[in-house]
């Protein structure tokens, strides 16, 4: 593995003069070339499972912008599908899934060892990318964290406050615990197979971690992340892991030490100055420009980008947004952000 890649150096704890940069959802609908390939594939899931087209859309933002990392094109909801749930996407609305309502539904899920048949095309995309990417570009694989994936499996869709998952936690604790355990095991197998197929870094997206309060955060965000990271480190000691407990607030403090993550990705609800003082003291951080700047642009975009770079310059930092770029973003603003980071 080329250890001189900038992202790998930052993840190993090195403070670089210019932070490496990539962007959550960098392959997506804000890019005309993505929309064209997506139209060719048909729907979003067909694109995820078509290794050639998924390779193509993963490469598009690398060609256009020269990001330091490429992220596998796939989705966190492929795991519930590989475990046997129905999954489809309603255009303009988002994902829909068949739900887990009781112990019988849980018992009918496939075993974590049986996910690879469904997910084979995803591993093929990674193998394709290993040879297709420029030598300096790091390949990132990913999965959803158990809590976030469970919120979709229990509600059958995205929810503003994860109500169904919070309810089941109390009404049927054995079913909830069994589901979390199944997802933890499946995520270990999935990420391990991604690493075998060529992922050089893996990222765990806990997009709804912020709705876990008090002990729930320890039990359902920290504990599963720690179990996944411990198992992956035992099998793949050299593969760095980024954890993203989105909107964790003051629970970002100590998260890397408690879970064993090499880097914590930070959303934009906390300031970069606070991150430097409270999180970066433990190691590499990633983030955290508000993705709305990719829509609005202008001087504010450049000012805020430089402020983040300056605030985090004293330690290992990977520049990124606080959350995914949105479809209404202007591709020119992405270039402005990259220039502001690299020419600062």
Strands (E), the chain: 69-71, 87-90, 94-97, 138-144, 201-206, 241-245, 263-265, 284-289, 317-321
Residue 336 found at the interface with ligand CP3 (CB under 6 A): no
Q: Would you say 240 or 315 has its CB closer to ligand CP3?
A: 240
How does DSSP assign 93-155, residue by residue? TEEEE----SHHHHHHSPPGGG-HHHHHHHHHHHHHHHHHS-TTPEEEEEEE-HHHHHHHHHH
Instruction: Give me 227's structure tokens.
Output: 């179990």
Q: Shortest distance, CB of residue 48 to ligand CP3, whole angstroms?
A: 8
- What residue numbers does the annotated binding site cover? 25-29, 75, 152, 207, 323
Among 42, 94, 173, 298, binds ligand CP3 (CB under 6 A): 94
CA quadruple 189, 229, 26, 296: dihedral positive or negative?
positive
Q: Does residue 24 touch ligand CP3 according to CB under 6 A?
A: yes
Residues within window 132-171 making contact with ligand CP3, judged by CB under 6 A: 142, 158
Minimum CB distance to ligand CP3 smaller for 221 or for 276: 221
Q: Which of 310, 333, 299 is nearest to 23 (CA)?
A: 333
Choose the binding region for ligand CP3 from 71-79, 187-195, 221-229, 255-263 (rule: CB under 6 A). 71-79
**Does 291 interact with ligand CP3 (rule: CB under 6 A)?**
no
110 is catalytic: no
In whole angstroms, the minimum distance from the beta carbon of 86 to ligand CP3 comes to 15
| 3-class DSSP state of 28 | coil
241-245 and 69-71 beta bridge pairing? unpaired
Q: Min. distance of Cβ 188 from ligand CP3 in angstroms?
A: 18
CA–CA separation, 317 and 280 (whole Å): 8
Cα within 13 Å of Cα(4), Cβ side: 2
Catalytic residue among 30, 49, 75, 123: 75
Least distance from ligand CP3 to the Cβ atom of residue 145, Å: 9
Neighbours of 73 (CB within 10 A): 25
Cα R_g (the chain), whole angstroms: 19
Q: Does 125 bind ligand CP3 (CB under 6 A)?
A: no
Q: How far is CA 245 from the centre of its chain?
A: 10
29 catalytically annotated: yes
Active-site residue, 152 included: yes
Does the footprint of ligand CP3 cover residue 239 (CB under 6 A)? no
Minimum gap (Å) between residue 294 Cβ and ligand CP3: 13
Nearest CA-CA partner of 245 in 188, 289, 205, 286: 205
User: Is 220 in the active site?
Assistant: no
Pick between residue 162 and residue 207 the one whose CB is nearest to ligand CP3.
207
Under the binding rule (CB under 6 A), the answer on residue 25 touching ligand CP3 is yes
Among 9, 18, 29, 278, interactor with ligand CP3 by CB under 6 A: 29
Distance CA 217, CA 147 (A): 10
Q: Six-digit token pair at 70? A: 């490429």
Question: With contacts defined by CB under 6 A, how many residues of the chain interact with ligand CP3?
Answer: 20
**Cβ proximity to ligand CP3, 217 vs 244, nearer residue:** 244
> Which residues fall in the annotated binding site for substrate?
25-29, 75, 152, 207, 323
Dig out the tokens for 297 from the structure.
Answer: 């642009």
Q: What mask of x and - would describe binding to ligand CP3 in positions 197 to 226, judged by CB under 6 A? A: --------x-x-------------------
Name the site residues for ligand CP3 (rule: CB under 6 A).
Answer: 24-29, 38, 44, 71, 73, 75-77, 94-95, 142, 158, 205, 207, 324
Q: Could you list the active site residues?
A: 25, 29, 38, 75, 152
């Amino acid at each position: 593995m080329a250890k001189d890649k900038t992202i790998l150096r930052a993840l190993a704890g090195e403070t670089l003069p210019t932070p490496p940069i990539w962007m959550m959802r960098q392959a997506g609908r804000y890019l005309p070339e993505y929309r064209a390939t997506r139209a060719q594939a048909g729907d979003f899931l067909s694109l995820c499972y078509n290794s050639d087209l998924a390779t193509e859309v993963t490469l598009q933002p690398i060609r256009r912008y020269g990001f330091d990392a490429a992220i596998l094109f796939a989705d966190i909801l492929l795991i519930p599908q590989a475990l046997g749930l129905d999954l489809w996407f309603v255009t303009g609305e988002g994902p829909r899934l068949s739900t887990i309502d009781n112990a019988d539904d849980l018992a009918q899920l496939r075993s974590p060892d049986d996910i690879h048949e469904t997910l084979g095309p995803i591993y093929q995309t990674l193998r394709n990318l290993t040879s297709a990417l420029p030598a300096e570009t790091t390949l990132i694989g990913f999965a959803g964290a158990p809590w976030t994936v469970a919120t979709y499996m229990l509600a059958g869709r995205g929810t503003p406050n994860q109500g169904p998952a919070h309810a089941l936690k109390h009404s049927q604790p054995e079913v909830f615990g069994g589901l979390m355990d199944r997802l933890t095991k499946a995520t270990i197998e999935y990420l391990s197979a991604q690493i075998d197929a060529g992922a050089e870094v893996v990222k765990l997206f806990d997009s709804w971690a912020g709705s876990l309060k008090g002990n729930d955060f320890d039990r359902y965000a920290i504990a599963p992340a720690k179990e996944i990271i411990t198992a992956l480190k035992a099998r793949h000691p050299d593969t760095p892991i980024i954890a993203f407990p989105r909107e964790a607030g003051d629970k970002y403090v100590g998260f890397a030490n408690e879970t064993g993550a090499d880097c914590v990705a930070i959303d934009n609800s906390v300031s970069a100055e606070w991150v430097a003082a409270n999180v970066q003291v433990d190691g590499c951080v990633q983030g955290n420009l508000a993705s709305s700047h990719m829509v609005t642009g202008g001087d504010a975009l450049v000012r805020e980008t430089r402020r983040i770079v300056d605030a985090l310059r004293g330690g290992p930092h990977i520049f990124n947004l606080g959350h995914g770029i949105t479809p209404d973003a202007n591709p020119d603003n992405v270039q402005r952000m990259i220039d502001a980071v690299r020419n600062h």
